[in-house]
Structure formats: C-alpha cells, structure tokens
Structure 1
C-alpha cells in the first residue's frame, strides 16, 4: 500500500526528484553567483594585508563610499514613501490613463541607464529645460545623484507593495471607521503593520540597486573628486588603469558593506514581524 502510494505521488510530480533539482540549482547558483563573487575575494587577497589596507583607507575611496551609501539610502527612503502612495493609487482607484501610468512605472526596468542619465542631465543641468528655472543646483551635485537613484529605484517599491495593497480587504478599514477609529489610527494601527514587510522589502531592493548603479549616475554626478564621485566610478577608473586588484578590493569593500546593511535591514524586518506575531497571540 505504501509503495503504491509513493509511486502515485512520484507520478504526480511535475519536476524531477529532489536530488536532481537541487543539483541543478546548486550548479546554476555557483556558476552565476558564487564563483564570480569568490574571484573578487581571491583577487583582493592577492594584494596582501598592507595593500588591502592601503586601498580601504584611501581618502578618495572612503569619500566616494560615503557619498554612495548616503545618496542610496536617501533615494531608497524617498522611494519607500512615495512608492507606497503611488502603489495605493494604482491599487485602489480607477481613473483615465491608469494603464498608461501603470506601464510607465516599469520603464526604468527597460530603459538603458545611460539613456536615463543623459535625459536627467539634459533636464536638470544649469542650462537645462527644468534646471534653468530652479533656484538650487541639481546636476553635478549629490541632489542630482539622489534624483537619478530615485528614478531607477521607484519600481522596486511599487511592484513590491502594490500586490499587498490589492490583497488588503477594504472592509477592515470600513469596520475601523464604524468603530470610531480616525484615518490616522486606521493607517498606523491597521494598514501600516500589514504593509511594513513589503515596504521594507521594496526599500531593501531599491537600496541595493542604488548602491551599484553607474550608468544613470555618472552623467548627472559630474564626477568631481571628493564631491560627486561615486564608488562604481572609482572601480571603473581602476579598471581603466589596469589596476584589477585595486578594483577588486574596492568592489570587495562595497560588497561587504552592502551585505552588512542589507542584513541589518532584514534583521529589523524580522524583529518587527516577530513582535507582530507575539502581539497577535
């Protein structure tokens, strides 16, 4: 009986057995992710402790890293706020041109980042169509970098939060209003806890995407050393000088920092989820 039941379950499987699928998964992930990242650490280790320390403590590298992290965090934070608002509008309201707006959200995914950088620079440069009317300088400043990172990161938040909003029952909010809850209380005590994990996920994706962005930033940044020079540009400069070990060291430093920050964000998300489960119980 047990053998017949096992044979029936085996016939119902769409994919091959666990061993084969796990083997294919490990080979694919190792080839695409693990081995290339391992080479970064191997090339970095070949510099020796003194060489690695010299690269890591270079004032220009540290300044570029500080600029990259702060602008990426600011852009992801802005995207987290406005992304939720846009996702809410797309999920809960019907209006003329909604499908066009919904399609435009995915444009940064398909548009070459260099094209986006050129377009933003043309618009926001001091003599640009929009920049000439602004009282503050946008292009060739950290503000321009944040603007470019907002452009390439906003779809991650919207597409992560939008399905969650669509899955929320509107009756819950209506019931809260009937019981006397204000809109502010409904948002902070009912909607926000339900949306928070998705918002944090979208924030993490936007932040990670911004850290490694090059094409859309390099044009609008102006690449002024110690002012608007981002870390990916430092890596490209090392490669153009045939300093492959130095480029790998900077990439390794950025990789470790990105991993730590993302681990911290996911830790906060896990803690909030755990507290919410304890509260529900």
Structure 2
C-alpha cells in the first residue's frame, strides 16, 4: 500500500501561485510597467533633458546621499537598540520596545511637523544647537534626521529576532578561550547578525529614498539644496508635466533596484560565508 498523502491546510500549488501572481501584478508589476511604458512614449532627447536638469541632479544627490547616511546610522544604532532590548531587563522596556514602532504608526506628515517643532531655531533642541552654529531645520541635516527617524524600525525589527535566538553560550565559549570583547563581536556575533543587518539596512535605505511626508516640512524644499527627488516628482505632476515626473520616477526606480540588488547580493554572500 502506498503512503497516505497528507493534504495541506492551504490550497494547492496552482491556486496559490495564481493568487500570488495576481496579487503581485496588481500591486507592483502593473504600476511599474505602466510607468515604464508611459516613459517609452518620450523621445530620448526629451527623456534626457527631463532627468539631467541641474535641479533634478541636485535632488538625486541629496535623496541618495541622505538615505545612505540615514541607513548607515540606523545600521549602527538600530543594532545597539536591538541588543539592549534583547539582552537587558530594565524599567520601561516595553515602552521603549513600543516606541521603536512609532514611525510605522505615526503619519509621516505629523512626524515632519514634530521634527520641525523640535529642531527649528526656536525648538526645544534646535535652539541649543543653533547657539553652536548648527542649523538642523531647513537644511540637509534635517533631511538626514527625518530619513533616519523613519528607517530605524526596519533595522531593529530585523536584527532583534536574530539576537533573541543567538545563544549566549557561544559568547561564553569565546570568552573562555581568551577572546576579547571586540574579537567576540567581530568573530562570533557579527557573522550571525550580518545577513539580518544587511536586510534591515536595505529596507531602511529603500524606505528613505521614497520618503516624502516627513521630509518636506523639515527640509524647507530649497531648490538645489534641500529639495528631495520625490518632492520634485510631485511638483512636476502638479504642474501637469507628467512626462517629466514619469522620467524622474523611472530613474529613481532603476537606481533603487540596482542598489537593492547590490545589497541583497552582499546579504547572500554574508549568509554563505556565515
């Protein structure tokens, strides 16, 4: 007699694959394809003029540079926050753990207004920084702070489960063999955390590149200085320059895809190496 085949609780492969492809197509593939096809209607000369204007190039530099800096800051301090939440017990831990998810729950426009209130030259923090000649609101620093704020949960929530599953015995074994704390972090902890850390970094970076609501209030939207690319896309759409908006959108899509591909390749390399 043949072995009894256990039926899965979920539908069969064909049905689930069909629903998955339909869901992915409606939410991602069709909008992206529509954007690309709309751009293909433009001539190469018009496309190049739209994406290479000095104001647009300046917005590219700010968006990607600020996203890179914000994601890098989150990679360091987000890992530290995850470590504290996993390894230590302290009063108010549940409150701190809940606050990590605040950027997910708080509307980005509200977050932007809160950041301006906090970091303007008359704000609670900004007034003291301004005494030292540091202007946060309506500057590039403000853009970095906003993008760091919205990207923190991605790093914490991807690294936290890995640290929770990481055995303390490995650290104790490393210490018993004479390894220093730095060596234990470098040789034992970091290889285990690195794939998750790169995932959180990629998510934080991708989220920052497309951020709009929290940045427009604190950046000041000064052309060539603090104007981010998503704002420029919205501005062109409001001016009925749909070709220009679509062309810039395609550039952002391609650049983000390439960067995420690189980061995912590094993640794959780190997991294989680990």
TM-score range, shorter chain: over 0.9
Aligned counterparts of 1:255 and 1:98: Cα–Cα separation in 2? 39
Residue 57 of structure 1 pairs with residue 52 of structure 2: yes
TM-score calculated relative to the size of structure 1: 0.94
Offset of residue 208 of structure 1: 0.2
Residue 209 of structure 1 pairs with residue 207 of structure 2: yes
Residue 46 of structure 1 pairs with residue 31 of structure 2: no
Offset of residue 254 of structure 1: 0.3
Aligned counterparts of 2:270 and 2:162: Cα–Cα separation in 1? 17
Offset of residue 54 of structure 1: 0.9
Task: Give me the CA root mean square deviation.
Answer: 1.0
Pairing partner for 2:216 from 194, 215, 218? 218
Offset of residue 142 of structure 1: 0.8
Secondary structure of 2:32's partner? Answer: helix
**Any gaps of 5 or more consecutive residues in structure 2?**
none
Aligned counterparts of 2:257 and 2:71: Cα–Cα separation in 1? 16
The answer to whether the 8 Å contact 2:51/2:244 transfers is no
Corresponding residue of 2:161: 163
Corresponding residue of 2:249: 251
Aligned counterparts of 1:55 and 1:208: Cα–Cα separation in 2? 23
Deviations 1:153-198 (A, max 9, x none): 0000000000000000001111111111111110100001111001
Aligned counterparts of 1:148 and 1:57: Cα–Cα separation in 2? 26
Deviations 1:23-63 (A, max 9, x none): 11111111111001111101111112111111121111111
Corresponding residue of 1:117: 112
Corresponding residue of 1:279: none
Corresponding residue of 2:93: 98
**Any gaps of 5 or more consecutive residues in structure 1?**
277-281
**Number of matched residues?**
271
Pairing partner for 2:23 from 28, 31, 38? 28
Aligned counterparts of 2:272 and 2:43: Cα–Cα separation in 1? 43
Offset of residue 104 of structure 1: 0.6
TM-score calculated relative to the size of structure 2: 0.97
Corresponding residue of 1:13: 8
